[in-house]
Structure 1
Amino acid sequence: MPTTSTLQATSSNNSLKKKKRKIILDCTEPVNISILNLKHFKTFIGLKMRYNDETENSEDVISVKRTNTKIIIFSDVPFTKRYLRFLMKSYFKKWEIAKLWKLVEIGPDSYAFRLLNLVTIKDIESKINEIYSDVNSNSE
């Protein structure tokens, strides 16, 4: 009997320790092509990140920081690559360039944006020019 109570106490002590997870999103390629505004993307991730089906609770558990070309997410709870891919697609969908990029795992907790092989830089530049011309014509 005493052994079971010590095992329970040990397991409860282990569950009290929170494991911090650090996830790195390498955004070098879209930043170099001037497609991605890293400051805006960081704000988008911080606002849209959900925990327990609420965005308001996420500040306590998830924090987002940025460097020159990387976004670093610190999390107390696990989340998947699928969720990061969803956030990336929803951000890029605004500019209709979501199908041009994919999220690739480059390490255990490191991901990078990669341009699809079917697309060239000229295709992206023409798409950006088309979008900007639409925006400029609507503002006039």
Structure 2
Amino acid sequence: RDEQFLQERIKVNGKAGNLGGGVVSIERSKSKIAVNSEVPFSKRYLKYLTKKYLKKNNLRDWLRVVANTKESYELRYFQINQDEEEEEED
């Protein structure tokens, strides 16, 4: 489901949905989705598409996209500090 969203949205040579005839490949393994590209591919563009996916599925308020290495992103839950909540109740 997630990788299908990326397949439909990733643009290669200005066209979405064709992945450039095999130039860009998307693979899924358990909780990871790998996007491999034989042409220059912006990591920032992948972050943009991921945020768009989260917004479409109403997950944007709970998850954020974080760069965990130079070549990858991961989704993390927003940290909610309970200390702040306790102070507000006083």
- Please report the TM-score for the alignment, with normalisation by the length of structure 1: 0.51
Where is the strand percentage greater, Structure 1 or Structure 2?
2
Partner in structure 2 of residue 19 of structure 1:
none
**Could you tell me which amino acid in structure 2 is paired with residue 88 of structure 1?**
T
Q: CA deviation at 1:66?
A: 0.4
Partner in structure 2 of residue 131 of structure 1:
none
Identity of aligned residues (%): 30
RMSD over aligned CA atoms reads: 2.1
**Could you tell me which amino acid in structure 2 is paired with residue 54 of structure 1?**
K
- Please report the TM-score for the alignment, with normalisation by the length of structure 2: 0.74
Where is the helix percentage greater, Structure 1 or Structure 2?
1
Poorly superposed stretches of 4+, deviation over 3 Å: none
Unaligned runs of 5+ in 1: 1-39, 120-140
1:74-129 Cα deviation digits (max 9, x unpaired):
1012222321121112112222222322221222212211111138xxxxxxxxxx
Highest Rg: 1 or 2? 1
1:19-69 Cα deviation digits (max 9, x unpaired):
xxxxxxxxxxxxxxxxxxxxx001111121111210235343100010011
Count residues with an aligned counterpart.
81
